Structure 1
Amino acid sequence: MDPRTSAQELILCELCKTGALQSHCELCQINLCKACVGEHLSDSSKRHNVVPYKHRKSTPNYPKCAKHAQKHCELYCEKCDIPVCITCISSEHKGHDLSDIQRLFSSKTVESERDLRELRKEIYPVYEKIASDLNSEKVNLQEHFEKLTIEITKQGEDWHREINIIVNKRKSEIDEMKAKYLALLNKQQEKIKRAISDVNQSILDLNEILDSNEVSLTCAYKSRNAEFRNLPPKVNVQLPSFSSQINKEQLHEMFGSLCALSITTAQRGYIMETSEAVSCPPVKPLLDEPELITTIDTKYKNLFSVACLTDDEIWTCGDIDIINFYNNKGILLKSVQTKTRSWPGDIAVTRSGDLVYTDNVSRTVNLVKKNQIQELFRLRGWKPYYVCSTSSGDLLVTMISNDKKESKVVHYSDSSEKQTIQFDDEDKPLFSSHHVKYISENRNQDICVADLGANAVVVVDQAGKLRFRYTGHRSTTSEPFEPHGITTDSQSQILIADTNNHCIHILDQHGQFLRYINNCDISFPSGLCTDKRDHVFVAQWIGGKVKKIK
């Protein structure tokens, strides 16, 4: 039961606080008693719609103004990101971009309903499947590792058997060699014994002849000394030794090795199968005609880059050693001189609001914080050129080798190299060697590079895998595509400055051409950036002007 209509509770008028509730104003979303209806309708500045309370529609409950208690907020200030009433517009919100809160409510309602459908029909089932898969993985994990343990145990048992066979064979070989050597020694020993006996007998015979002084015995004597001088040959034997042919390292390798446990992460995704999801319009459709909001004269002769700090404040850099900070009205708020007094290669603003700039003379990437310049890192063999800050607070830097033969993109986290993007799956260079390569990270974490040397935009995913190349759309342009600055918006749309054709190309996140921005008197666009409301800041190379476009 609705507590507002419960018989146990008397609902009172929201104006007088005493009369019994009878009516409801659908415009102002206020409950009224009979006496206060007339007073409420006396305000002719609004088209009130008072109905019996029981017949009230389920209309949005407009918030009351925090500063004007009797007013409801019917508008929304985009700059301040808050609902406002009509009275507020003429005071602190004067000149701000305003939108109808009912239109915003309707848009957000459609978006919320679409998100709810997607969550229920697409995303939640995917998460359920992931949870189920994880449970299956846990069940299979024990079985897999038990199998590994059994395999290794069996390998050990096989090795023990083979080693016992080898050991026994080697022992048998030792016994055979020992017996052979011993037999040889025994044979030599027998020969020597016989020779000694023969020598002793010759000594006895000679003593007898000499003692007898008999002529016949003496004349019959035959000398054997020549025979005895021929000594038996000496047998040289090299005793066997045992040497191991493997060391412990080799033993481990021969036994077998385990592949290392490899744990990686990959971006999960799902495919929307319903035609409804495909046909849903973007939350922020493109205007029929882009609108020029303001022009800021930076006084640079040649302007290279622009980076938003807020919706109303920008950093700029060009062909001097000064990086300037302006507001929307073109008022110079601050200046930073580079440490080496050389032109900055490019600029970016970090998530914390600090300025980063590259210096290809000193080969450094530098952080400007509280008016102090801090060197984040210095390159060797490479020169940094263009830079952007990622959604995670890291930096992406395009760079060229000293010999100008190679280009690459390097992902830095806390001044440490995290990832290098240089080659495709066929080991071919993703980028030309030309040094002009503006860079931006898309909301889906794709990395978008405007490669002037290749006259193309190269888009890779966060793993560095090529997604697509865009080489221009010749429907209305007359000159070759010449990409310089590149940025993305909240819808993951990619915006590219085409200097040759004095326009901005807009693509969707899959590389499909959507439209040009070729009005607003754009000439020689170079750097680009977008603010939180998807306004585009265009740095014009010649003349040094920045144009803010809706």
Structure 2
Amino acid sequence: MDPLCSAQDAVRCALCSISDAPMFCEGCHTHLCKDCVEEHFADSSKVHNVVPLKQYWTTLNYPKCEKHGAKQCELFCEHCDIPICARCISSKGHQNHNIVDFLENLERKRIDLQTDLRELEKSLFPKYKKIAFHIQVQKVDLKKNSQKIAASLNTQRDIWHREIDDIVNKLKCEFKDIESKHLDVLNKQEVEIQRSISELTQNIVDIKKLLNSKDVLLVCEYKSRNAKFRGLPPKFKISLPSFKPNEINRDQLMEQFGSLSTLTLTFTTEEQDNSVLTQGTESSPPDQPLMNEPRVITAIDTRYDEPYSVSCLNDSEVWTRGDDNIMKLFNLKGELVKSIQTDSKNWPYDIAVTMSGDLVYTDYDNGTVNIVKNTQIQTAIRLEGWRPRSICSSSSGGYLVVVESDDKKQTKVVRYSGSKETQSIQFNSKGQSLYSSSRHLKYINENRNLDICVTDVGKNAVVVVNQEGLLRFIYPVTRFFHELSFDPRGVTTDSQSRILIADCHNDRIHILDQNGQFLRFIDNCDLCYPWGLCVDTSDNLFVADSDTGKVKKIQYCN
């Protein structure tokens, strides 16, 4: 029997599964009958090269027999797991062994390769990616929980005054140590997961190369490594510590001040828990429904003619910036706690508070992002060819900055880790600019689900992309009720991943869910040209009311 024909006798068309398949698509590695070739070409998502199967076999690089020199191996010994030639059979070197046609063995190997590739791409790789995302969510929760603990400790310290400062410092060190230890655990697991993802990626690439290879010896030597990845690494859940204040008892001050609950780690295997912790699961805070009638709790006179930005330092103090080069820190009584003048004497374009509690601001004219540590100003980022506009702190520990080109024709969002650029977001999947030309106002905030929300006055819209920079949605699709056009300014997000947008000229706040669905307005709090927004850890909204010069604290959810 002709070895070039024998293997294809049993091959059926991959589309109809009925007819013999004398044709083969080299691009898709698919067997086809002549009637199905045209249907196969209809899939324009791939590059097709359909040739007669016999022609395809003749172009394969058959190995030379190791024992008989120039002889070509057209058979395969399954017992020895090696290719052999006809002389190997006649020499009785493989007597009583199961000998099959080389092409038949090749087809089996290709099926095994495709099976492994499907498992890697459809099952194992996505699971590892989910575990990596789970780690990111846990790290965000860990940092936010630490902020809440710090706020509770500071409130208790204010009640007990200086008498308990030493105790406060000791407990802060304790929970910081807990955070550090568990962050180390998270980082270590993340490194292991990323290493496995890299191996998976390389394995996928190798298999694809083998599928495209005409070197049949390499294909035959393939050994599956999928078993290594099937045993997914364990996941763990952190039972976050909490702070429990007690009444003052001076005789037992240290004991009665309060303590941190023990943090526990729970490891689960894929069999025990095949779900990955994402937004809306046990990492989410208790549901806080929206109030029917939001109310103003307090109003702080900022002494600006027009305040533009507000950022919470904690639940009792907020940073502001307005129409001069002074940034001011106020407590909720309206008392000025601290003021910082920009180093360059330029107006700051935007401000934010880092995860560690430092103030950062953008200096558009100087092309810098600056950080304030105590009262010292340091340049954190210096741009070349671009200028920074709005900024927000990222849960990853760095910054997200909206920047525009010097020629004012381009706008993009850049993620920084320290002073290093780690991501640039500018175009959608069609290569079109996500944001309007740079002369228009824009503000930015990172949502709890790691989406990036940018208000764009040039588009009269909010552009939301995911963590990878892929467009999720644009709000609104149409103008509301044929009224004045949507005029977005500041944007912030709360613990429920709701998105809040200041609609400046319409004197109201839009509240959306994390998928861009409109929930309600805040339009009953005497807002007048609302501009900057932020929320505290209890989801109270702070609004920089640019026409009245005040920052209003608004309760909008229960």
Alignment match of 2:442 (pick from 426, 431, 437): 437
Alignment match of 1:290 (pick from 291, 294, 302): 294
Question: Structure 1 pair 339/146, CA: closer, same or farther in 2 (3 Å)?
Answer: closer
- Displacement of 1:456 in angstroms is 0.3
2:504 aligns with 499
1:543 aligns with 548
- Displacement of 1:380 in angstroms is 1.6
Larger radius of gyration: 1
CA distance in 1, matches of 2:432, 2:418: 29
CA distance in 2, matches of 1:333, 1:311: 14
2:419 aligns with 415
Alignment match of 1:393 (pick from 386, 392, 397): 397
2:464 aligns with 459
Per-residue CA deviation, residues 289-341 of structure 1 (Å, 9 max, x unaligned), is 11211000000011110000001101000111110110001100111110110
CA distance in 1, matches of 2:325, 2:212: 66
Unaligned runs of 5+ in 1: 1-76, 83-87, 93-129, 156-269
Per-residue CA deviation, residues 58-104 of structure 1 (Å, 9 max, x unaligned), is xxxxxxxxxxxxxxxxxxx999759xxxxx9xx98xxxxxxxxxxxx
1:203 aligns with none
CA distance in 2, matches of 1:78, 1:472: 40
1:98 aligns with none
Question: Structure 1 pair 79/365, CA: closer, same or farther in 2 (3 Å)?
Answer: closer
CA distance in 2, matches of 1:466, 1:146: 32
Correspondence list, 1:138-157, <5 A: 144=207
Per-residue CA deviation, residues 413-451 of structure 1 (Å, 9 max, x unaligned), is 111111111111111110001341100000000000000
- Displacement of 1:145 in angstroms is 10
2:488 aligns with 483
Does the 8 Å CA contact 1:385/1:435 hold for their aligned counterparts?
Answer: no
1:50 aligns with none
2:361 aligns with 357
- Displacement of 1:147 in angstroms is 5.6
Question: Structure 1 pair 148/539, CA: closer, same or farther in 2 (3 Å)?
Answer: same
1:519 aligns with 524
Question: Structure 1 pair 141/462, CA: closer, same or farther in 2 (3 Å)?
Answer: closer
1:331 counterpart = 2:351: no
Question: Structure 1 pair 466/475, CA: closer, same or farther in 2 (3 Å)?
Answer: closer
CA distance in 2, matches of 1:435, 1:284: 34
> TM-score when scaled to structure 2?
0.50
Correspondence list, 1:85-164, <5 A: 144=207
Alignment match of 1:379 (pick from 376, 380, 383): 383
Per-residue CA deviation, residues 122-170 of structure 1 (Å, 9 max, x unaligned), is xxxxxxxx9xx99x979x8899499699966969xxxxxxxxxxxxxxx
Does the 8 Å CA contact 1:326/1:332 hold for their aligned counterparts?
Answer: yes
- Displacement of 1:504 in angstroms is 0.4
2:36 aligns with none
2:315 aligns with 311
Unaligned runs of 5+ in 2: 1-147, 161-192, 219-273
Question: Structure 1 pair 78/524, CA: closer, same or farther in 2 (3 Å)?
Answer: farther
2:253 aligns with none
Per-residue CA deviation, residues 481-521 of structure 1 (Å, 9 max, x unaligned), is 00000000000000000001100000000000000001111
Alignment match of 1:345 (pick from 346, 349, 356): 349
- Displacement of 1:471 in angstroms is 2.3
* Partner AA of 1:528 in structure 2: L
3-state SS, counterpart of residue 397 of structure 1: strand
Per-residue CA deviation, residues 183-218 of structure 1 (Å, 9 max, x unaligned), is xxxxxxxxxxxxxxxxxxxxxxxxxxxxxxxxxxxx
Q: Which has the larger displacement, 454-463 or 431-440?
A: 431-440
Does the 8 Å CA contact 1:389/1:396 hold for their aligned counterparts?
Answer: yes
Question: Structure 1 pair 148/365, CA: closer, same or farther in 2 (3 Å)?
Answer: same
* Partner AA of 2:516 in structure 1: G
CA distance in 1, matches of 2:209, 2:310: 60
CA distance in 1, matches of 2:382, 2:530: 30
Moved over 3 A (4+): 77-82, 140-155, 472-478
Does the 8 Å CA contact 1:473/1:513 hold for their aligned counterparts?
Answer: no
Paired residue total = 310
3-state SS, counterpart of residue 521 of structure 1: coil
Does the 8 Å CA contact 1:325/1:335 hold for their aligned counterparts?
Answer: yes
Higher relative contact order (CA 8 A, sep 6+): 2
Alignment match of 1:469 (pick from 462, 471, 474): 474
Question: Structure 1 pair 151/489, CA: closer, same or farther in 2 (3 Å)?
Answer: same
CA distance in 1, matches of 2:209, 2:500: 55
> TM-score when scaled to structure 1?
0.51
CA distance in 1, matches of 2:217, 2:481: 73
* Partner AA of 2:448 in structure 1: R
1:426 aligns with 430
Does the 8 Å CA contact 1:354/1:368 hold for their aligned counterparts?
Answer: yes
3-state SS, counterpart of residue 500 of structure 1: helix
Does the 8 Å CA contact 1:347/1:358 hold for their aligned counterparts?
Answer: yes
CA distance in 2, matches of 1:464, 1:357: 23
Question: Structure 1 pair 479/271, CA: closer, same or farther in 2 (3 Å)?
Answer: farther
